[in-house]
Amino acid sequence: MSSQTLQKVDHAALKANQLFIISLNILAFIFDQPWLAAFVALVMGLGSAFKVPGFLPIYKNILKPRGWMKPDILDDNPEPHRFAQFLGFIFMTAGSTALFLGSAVLGWTLVWIVVALASLNAFGGFCVGCAVYYWLARLNLPGFGKQPPSGTFPGMKPKAGSV
Amino acid sequence: MSNEILLRSIFALAIIGAGLFAYWLVNQRLLVKARSNVFTLFSKLPNKPVIVYFTTPDCAPCKTVQRPAINRVSQLLGEKLEIVEIDATQRPDLAKIWGVMSVPTTFLLDARGEARFVNNGVTRAEKLMEQLDTFSDFVI
């Protein structure tokens, strides 16, 4: 764990993003609407492109101002979360494509993997995509330069001091 | 609701149920860990229910929600309850052996020192009271 400059990351915004991804994907599955899964993929892709959580505007303009979600700002690296969202985007794109090509089992399996991983992050505080990022950083892969906040298990939500 | 939507809903619920079961299993593991490590906190059991509360100085939900909730429970129950607050940054050893991966985390121990509940994340005072209320040897 090297000393590094951490940034303020609002984990409530990340959680809101995950909750939307989970909810919309489950609705897409129940009502058999691949376009809804494709919409989630699109939002995640746009979020990745703009380096923000895809559903950030809903958190910023609705959930936070109305007090439905309170900011949970922690010292953290934003890069692993962006990478995690990008991984989700890849899975969602692959899943949506499979669904549109008629491969329902493969498509919905990929969608459910995203739901499971987003749930683990939202409710368990463990970001698998971030853990992958830190694992790649350990391999000194170019573009993966960040280390977990001091004392934080790679992928776990930081506790601002560390455990 | 068409049959297909109903079937898909059932399937979705089954998957969610499996996830919740996995979460329950993880919590059971935490409780087993807590039971075997209770004497890392006490040399002698206090003979009353205990809330073991893991927090850190910069945990915002701990300050704004969890701490007031625990204070409320403490005020309601007074001497009948013991609160043990652990700053995980000061005692990483305890956080590790109790299996705490995030804060706030609260463990509820009965009067015999047996860990009965673990709450990952913010827990309302009402829920803590409900959990304490299930202790057979404890009258609120």
Which residues lie closer than 8 Å to A66 by C-beta, 6 or more apart? none
CA distance B15 to A124: 17
In total, how many domains does chain B have? 1
DSSP letters spanning A46-62: HHHHHTS-TTHHHIIII
Q: Is B1 on the interface with A (CB under 8 A)?
A: no
Report percent pLDDT > 70 for chain A: 94
Residue B59 has pLDDT above 90, yes or no: no
Banded model confidence at residue B139, pLDDT cuts 50, 70, 90: low
Q: Which residues pair with B120 in a beta bridge?
A: B105
With beta carbons under 8 A apart, name residues in chain A contacting B64: 70
- The pLDDT score that the predictor gives to residue A162 is 41
Residue B140 maps to a domain: no
pLDDT value for A113: 96
Binary contact (B12, A124; C-beta < 8 A)? no
Return d(Cα B131, Cα B140) in angstroms, integer.
Answer: 11
Helices A78-100/A128-138 angle, 10° precision: 120
Q: In the predicted model, is pLDDT for residue A15 greater than 80?
A: yes
Residue A160 has pLDDT above 70, yes or no: no
Confidence category of residue A97, pLDDT binned at 50, 70, 90:
very high
Q: Which helix (H) or strand (E) segment is B50 a member of?
A: strand B50-55
- The pLDDT confidence band at residue A1, using thresholds 50, 70 and 90, is very low
The token duo for A36 is: 């809804």
Q: Is residue B138 part of a domain?
A: no
Stretch B13-28: mean pLDDT: 91
Domain ranges of chain A: 7-125
The verdict on residue B70 lying in a domain is yes
Q: Which pLDDT score, from 0 to 100, does residue A101 have?
A: 96
**pLDDT at A103 > cutoff 70:** yes
What is the mean pLDDT of the segment spanning B64-81?
Answer: 92
Q: Which of B5, B58, B88 sits opposite A163 (nearest CB)?
A: B88
Residue B63: inside a domain, yes or no? yes
Question: What average pLDDT does the structure give for chain A?
Answer: 92
Q: Which sign, positive or negative, has the C-alpha torsion A111, A132, B97, B80?
A: negative
Domain of B57: which CATH number?
3.40.30.10
Q: Give the pLDDT band of residue B63 (cuts 50, 70, 90).
A: confident
Taking CB atoms and an 8 Å cutoff, what residues of chain A touch B56? 159-163
Distance from CA of B41 to the nearest CA of A (A): 17
The answer to whether the complex's ipTM is over 0.90 is no
Cβ atoms of B8 and A34 within 8 Å: the answer is: no
B37 pLDDT tier (thresholds 50, 70, 90): confident
In chain A, where does DSSP find H-type helix?
A: 11-30, 34-50, 56-58, 78-100, 104-124, 128-138
Contact B108, B128 (CB under 8 A): yes
Residue A161's pLDDT is what?
43
Average pLDDT over residues A137-158: 86
What's chain B's average pLDDT?
89
B14, B41, B47: which is closest to B100 by C-alpha? Answer: B41
The separation between CA A93 and the C-alpha centre of its own chain, rounded to angstroms, equals: 14
Please give the torsion angle defined by the CA atoms of residues A29, A32, A36 and A40, in that order, rounded to the nearest 10 degrees: 30
Within-domain flag for B122: yes
More confident residue, A151 or B129: B129
Whether residue B89 lies within 8 A of chain A, CB to CB, comes out as yes
Q: Tell me how close the Cα of B75 comes to any Cα of chain A, in angstroms.
A: 26
Structural domain span for residue B68: 3-133
Spatial neighbors of A73 by CB under 8 A, at least 6 apart, are A8, A9, A10, A11, B60
Q: Does A3 score more than 60 pLDDT?
A: no
The predicted model gives A38-61 an average pLDDT of: 97
Comparing CA positions, the residue from B103, B115, B108 lying closest to residue B38 is B115
Residue B122's pLDDT band (cuts 50, 70, 90): confident
**CA-based angle A60:A65:A67, to the nearest 5?**
115
Residues A163, B4: C-beta atoms closer than 8 Å: no
Structure confidence at residue B1 (pLDDT): 62
> CB pairs below 8 Å between A and B: how many?
76
